[in-house]
């Protein structure tokens, strides 16, 4: 299985395509550019350096993503219930966890999970990316879109865990941590965000559909985000 996307040199055709797209974008928004200011910028050193850097940053982020290929057609994976998929993955069926003095687990009640997306794939390629300490669901959606991804469905993530039980241990780990968590999210029937997280350190499955624990609520609501940390990898599939 590939660890990251296979590296190769940018082709002349890709350079031409990028140039054409940049040219088309300038023409589309030319009415918003002042001619005098444009001429000023063109007189500066490396006037399009920012655009090149932005393009590079996006390519680099995508090329660095860990990649895994999953066969959903094997072992009836496409037709399992969420509980069956979790059991087959070998995970302990633990539920909500909150840190601090009130840390606890409870058993997952799969009947509480009303809406779970299921993509109709025989095979699927999963891509993983890392983010910062606090991120809200809206920003997470933008991070997926920036990479040309959409959130992976829980069934494909659990199928990967079944195929390769130690795959999380092979991902790069932040200096302060010895584990990685894998995360995907979706909207439930009320339009609220739910998420599934595979915990590398205690091998549990978390299905969160409630508000943050009071220990974190003030910080999370102030940031407008979901409480995650730098050892979290988000998983998606190509959005095309």
Same domain, 47 and 79: no
pLDDT tens digits along 183-214? 888 887 777 777 888 876 555 565 655 444 44
Rounded CA separation 145/30 (Å): 25
pLDDT tens digits along 106-159? 566 666 666 788 888 889 999 999 876 667 788 889 999 999 999 999 899 989
> Residue 34 above 80 pLDDT?
yes
Same domain, 188 and 203: yes
Same domain, 200 and 156: yes
Q: What total of structural domains would you count in the chain?
A: 2
pLDDT at 235: 94
What is the per-residue burial (b if ≥16 Cβ within 10 Å, else e) of 165-196? eebbeebeeeeeeeebbbbbbbeeeeeebbbb
> Residue 99 above 50 pLDDT?
no
pLDDT at 224: 47
Cα–chain center distance at 131? 9
Same domain, 45 and 71: no
Q: Which domain holds residue 25?
A: 12-63
Same domain, 77 and 154: yes
Nearest in space to 99 (alpha carbons), one of 225, 219, 180, 222: 219
Same domain, 227 and 109: yes
Which of 63, 81, 100 is the last residue before a domain boundary? 63
Rounded CA separation 204/66 (Å): 21
For the chain, the helix, strand and coil percentages under 3-state DSSP, each to the nearest 5: 40, 20, 40
Query: Is residue 5 domain-resident?
Result: no
């Amino acid at each position: 299985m590939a660890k990251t996307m296979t590296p190769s040199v940018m082709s002349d055709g890709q350079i031409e395509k990028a140039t054409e797209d940049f040219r088309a974008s300038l023409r589309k928004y030319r009415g918003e550019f002042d001619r005098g200011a444009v001429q000023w910028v063109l007189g500066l050193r490396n006037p399009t350096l920012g655009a090149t850097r932005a393009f590079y940053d996006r390519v680099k982020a995508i090329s660095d993503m860990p990649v895994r290929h999953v066969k959903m057609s094997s072992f009836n994976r496409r037709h399992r219930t969420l509980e069956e998929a979790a059991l087959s993955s070998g995970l302990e069926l633990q539920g909500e966890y909150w840190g601090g003095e009130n840390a606890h687990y409870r058993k997952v009640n799969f009947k509480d999970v009303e809406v779970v997306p299921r993509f109709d794939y025989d095979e699927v390629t999963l891509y993983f990316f890392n983010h910062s300490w606090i991120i809200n669901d809206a920003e997470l959606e933008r991070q997926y879109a920036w990479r040309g991804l959409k959130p992976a469905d829980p069934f494909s993530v659990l199928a990967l865990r079944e195929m390769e039980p130690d795959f999380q241990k092979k991902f790069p780990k932040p200096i302060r941590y010895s584990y990685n968590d894998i995360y995907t999210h979706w909207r439930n029937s009320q339009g609220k965000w739910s998420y599934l997280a595979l915990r590398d350190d205690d091998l549990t499955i978390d299905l969160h559909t409630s508000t943050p624990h009071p220990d974190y609520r003030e910080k999370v609501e102030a940031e407008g985000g979901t409480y995650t940390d730098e050892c979290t990898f988000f998983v998606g599939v190509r959005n095309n």
